[in-house]
Structure 1
Amino acid sequence: MSHNPVNHPARPIYRAIGGLTGVYLVLFGVLGIVETSGGEFFAQDDTLVLGQGTNLGNSVLSIVLGLVILAATLIGRNVDVALNKPLGYALMALGAAALAVLRTDANYLNFSVATSIVVMILGLVLLMAGMYGKVGSDDEARAFEHARLFS
C-alpha cells in the first residue's frame, strides 16, 4: 500500500511493541492455564487472570496467538507486517464479538468487559506495528517520500 510508510525511522520501536504484544498474550495464556487447569475447556465461571475473564480455551488461544506474533517478530523483515495487520483486525473483531455475547451461553472464551477492551487495544497496537513496520529498499523509501511530499 502506498499510504503506509516504508523504512519508517521508528520501525524498530514498532517491531518491539508488536513483540511485546506477543509476550503479553503468552504471559496471559500461561497464567490462565495455571489458574484454570483441571477445569472445563470452555468453562463459563468467574475466573480472572490479570483482571480479565478467562478459561482454558481462551488461555490456549492466547498462547498460540502470542507465539505466532513472537515468531513473526523474530523472523522480521515484512513477515511481521503481513501478520500483524490481519491479526490486529481479527483481535478487534473478536473483542467486538465478545461484547455482543458477553452475558449469553455463547461466551465460550469466558470474556469479561475488561477482556474485550484489552483484546481491542492489543488489536490496535498490532495494527499500528503493522502499519509502520514495513521494510523496503531505498528506492521504495524514496518513492514513498516523493509521493508523500508531492501529492
Structure 2
Amino acid sequence: MAHTPVNHPARPIYRAIGGLVGLYFVVFGVLGIIASAGDDVLAQDGTKVLGQGTNLGFSLLTIVLGAAILAGTVIGRNLDVAINQWLAYALIVLGLAELAFIRTDANIFNFSIITVIVVLVLALVLLMVGMYGKVGSEEEKEAWQKARLVL
C-alpha cells in the first residue's frame, strides 16, 4: 500500500501494542473457558468475563485470534502487519454482525453491548498497529517519502 508508512519511528511501540492486544485476547479466552466450563459451546446464558458476555465458542475463538496475533508479533517481517490488518477487518465485521443480532437467537457468541464495544475498539487498535508497523529497506522508505510528498 502506497499510503502505509515504511519504517515508522514508533514501530516498536506499535508492535508491542499489537502484542498486548493478542495477550488480552488469550487471557480473555482462558478466563472465558474457565467461566463457561460445562456449558454448551454456543450457550446464550449470562456468562460474563471481565464484564463482557461470552461463551465457550467465543472464548476458543479469542484464544485462536490472540495466538495468531502473538505469533505474528514474534515472527515480525511484515507478517504481523498482514495478520493485524486482516484480523482487524474480521473483528470489525464480527462486532458489527453481533451488534445487529445482539437481542436475537442469532447472537451465537453471547455478546453484550460491552463485548461489542471492546471488540470494535481492539479491532481499530489492531488496524492502527497494522498500518504503522511495516518494515522495509531504505529504498522502500525513500520511495514512500517521495510518494507522500507528491500529494
Moved over 2 A (4+): none
Match of residue 116 from structure 1: 116
Unmatched tracts of structure 2, length 5 or more: none
Superposition TM-score, scaled by structure 2 size: 0.98
Unmatched tracts of structure 1, length 5 or more: none
2:89 is matched by which residue type in structure 1? Y
| 1:2-151 alignment runs, 5 A limit | 2-151=2-151
Q: Distance between the aligned counterparts of 1:44 and 1:150, measured in 2?
A: 53
Deviation at 1:149, TM superposition (A): 2.1
- SS of 1:32's equivalent in the other structure is helix
1:75 is matched by which residue type in structure 2? I
Can you list the C-alpha shifts for 1:107-138, whole angstroms capped at 9, x where unaligned? 11000000001000111011001100000000
**Identity score, percent:** 66
Deviation at 1:150, TM superposition (A): 3.1
Count of residue correspondences: 151
1:35 is matched by which residue type in structure 2? A
CA RMSD of aligned residues (A): 0.7
Deviation at 1:147, TM superposition (A): 1.7
Can you list the C-alpha shifts for 1:48-81, whole angstroms capped at 9, x where unaligned? 1000000000100000100011001100010000
